[in-house]
Amino acid sequence: MKAVVLVGGEGTRLRPLTVTTPKPLLPIAGRPLVERQLVWLAAHGIDEVVLSLGYLPDAFVEHFPGDRFASMALTYAVEPEPLGTAGAVRFAAEHVGIDERFVVCNGDVLTTLDLGALVDFHVERGATATIHLSQVEDPSALGVVPTYPDGEVEAFIEKPAPGTAPTNWINAGTYVLEPDVLARIPPALATSIERETFPRLLEDRGCVYALGTGDYWLDVGTPEKYLEAHADVLAGRMGSPPVLDAREEAPGVWLQGDVDLAAEASLEAPVLIGDGVAVAAGARVAGSALGPGASVGPNAVVDHSVLLSGARLARGALVRASILGVGASVEEDAAVLDFSIVGAGACVPASTTLTGGRVPVAASAG
């Protein structure tokens, strides 16, 4: 079966990380999000994937040399302009000539959904479209999907005011579609599948169904969710080891390649320390992922954070619940706190504090 993976969005909520790297190519514990998704699709029998591209398309083409990933053939459908989630599906399907049942997924979803069970449910109901639902505590920022007892969708409600949602089952961004859906999407026009195409399909009864499951699911859209994805993957919620080539030095302490860890450094599980990382004496790394070549200076602290490759903390610096982009640096005694993001190559000056802030990508890195 073929799958269309939507990876053409700009990822604005994760800027400035996404200024230089499209969101699906950002690492989640050492492995790009889209690779984690492709592994999941392959495990469920998908043999051909169309990457639906728009923003920074060359980065994907360069990332997958040979246009293959494991057992799957990859095709690229590059939109001339953003077509929204439905327009992108039609464009991608036409690009490869999809004329049979297929799967669509948002490229920012991390899940252990049993895709086969979703397809079986779709076939049993004779559905035109079937949507995976996940249950969340607060659906007020999401699209909720109440259903009839047999799973037929009753309505789509976008961003219900707090306390008014009839259900907390939300559209989880994986769909099984019959090719007839494509004719319901206007060609070459920006259209949203969740806000326009699916609600219109409800005009005919018996077409749109949804299956709620308790599988692991996370939409990696914001800095908070990016850090949550790391915490979950490091805690083994997507399987163990968190990334294929990691070795477990002590319970929950994962190392890759050659690392330079001072005997007086403290590592508090779960942590992932990438190849070429250096952690100096007196430094503390807790609940964090350090990308290849990152360095943590003497008495510096990395707490529940992510350092992308080559990021650097000088002596006494602190990074808590934040993300440092590729080659970013935090100078002596500076602090980066509360879901801050420091762009690629940017520098946080010595003895300053950044709280919930964003530092743009350095001119040299953009």
Contacts for 361 with CB less than 8 Å, ≥ 6 apart: 16, 19, 20, 325, 343, 344, 345, 346
In one-letter notation, the amino acid at residue 314 is A
Q: Which stretch binds ligand GTP (CB under 6 A): 84-92, 226-234, 264-272, 344-352?
A: 84-92
Q: What gap in Å lies between CA 259 and CA 277, rounded to an integer? A: 5
**Residue 170 touches ligand GTP, criterion: CB under 6 A:** no
Map the footprint of ligand GTP across residues 316-335, applying CB under 6 A.
none
Q: What gap in Å lies between CA 91 and CA 86, rounded to an integer? A: 9
Which residue of 16, 27, 54, 345 would you call a contact of ligand GTP, by CB under 6 A?
54
Q: What gap in Å lies between CA 345 and CA 75, rounded to an integer? A: 32
Place of tokens 């439905």: 86
Q: What gap in Å lies between CA 311 and CA 295, rounded to an integer? A: 7
**Residue 85 touches ligand GTP, criterion: CB under 6 A:** yes
Find the shortest distance in angstroms from Cβ 7 to ligand GTP. Answer: 5
Instruction: Between 104 and 283, name the residue whose CB sits nearer to ligand GTP.
Output: 104
Find the shortest distance in angstroms from Cβ 292 to ligand GTP. Answer: 25
Extract the runs of DSSP E, i.e. beta strands, from 244-326. Answer: 247-250, 253-255, 260-261, 266-268, 271-273, 278-279, 284-286, 289-290, 295-296, 301-303, 306-307, 312-313, 318-320, 323-324
Find the shortest distance in angstroms from Cβ 322 to ligand GTP. Answer: 18
**Residue 108 touches ligand GTP, criterion: CB under 6 A:** yes
Gyration radius of the chain's alpha carbons: 21
**Residue 52 touches ligand GTP, criterion: CB under 6 A:** yes
Backbone angles phi, psi at 113, to 5 degrees: -45, 140
Which residue of 1, 61, 64, 82 would you call a contact of ligand GTP, by CB under 6 A?
82
Find the shortest distance in angstroms from Cβ 91 to ligand GTP. Answer: 8
**Residue 223 touches ligand GTP, criterion: CB under 6 A:** no
**Residue 122 touches ligand GTP, criterion: CB under 6 A:** no
Find the shortest distance in angstroms from Cβ 105 to ligand GTP. Answer: 8
Which residue of 29, 41, 88, 170 would you call a contact of ligand GTP, by CB under 6 A?
88
How many residues in the shown chain lie near ligand GTP by CB under 6 A?
21
Backbone angles phi, psi at 133, to 5 degrees: -115, 145
- Which residues sit opposite 255 in a β-bridge? 247, 273
**Residue 9 touches ligand GTP, criterion: CB under 6 A:** yes
Find the shortest distance in angstroms from Cβ 212 to ligand GTP. Answer: 20
Instruction: Between 88 and 319, name the residue whose CB sits nearer to ligand GTP.
Output: 88
Q: What gap in Å lies between CA 33 and CA 352, rounded to an integer? A: 32
Burial 248-274 (b: 16+ CB within 10 A, else e): eeeebbbbbeebebeeebebeebbbbb
**Residue 8 touches ligand GTP, criterion: CB under 6 A:** yes
Q: Which stretch binds ligand GTP (CB under 6 A): 7-15, 287-295, 296-304, 336-344?
A: 7-15
**Residue 12 touches ligand GTP, criterion: CB under 6 A:** yes
Q: Which stretch binds ligand GTP (CB under 6 A): 33-41, 100-108, 124-132, 314-322?
A: 100-108
**Residue 79 touches ligand GTP, criterion: CB under 6 A:** yes
Kindly tell me the burial class for residue 96, based on how many C-beta atoms sit within 10 Å of its own C-beta (0-12, 13-18, 19 or more).
middle
Whole-Å CA distances, 289 to 102, 267, 293, 307: 35, 11, 12, 6
Is the Cα dihedral 160, 340, 108, 54 positive or negative? positive
Which residue of 16, 30, 221, 298 would you call a contact of ligand GTP, by CB under 6 A?
221
Q: What gap in Å lies between CA 242 and CA 26, rounded to an integer? A: 15
Closest-by-Cβ residue to ligand GTP is 9
Q: Which stretch binds ligand GTP (CB under 6 A): 10-18, 181-189, 260-268, 333-341?
A: 10-18
Q: Which residues contact ligand GTP (rule: CB under 6 A)?
A: 6-13, 23, 52, 54, 79, 82-85, 88, 106-108, 221
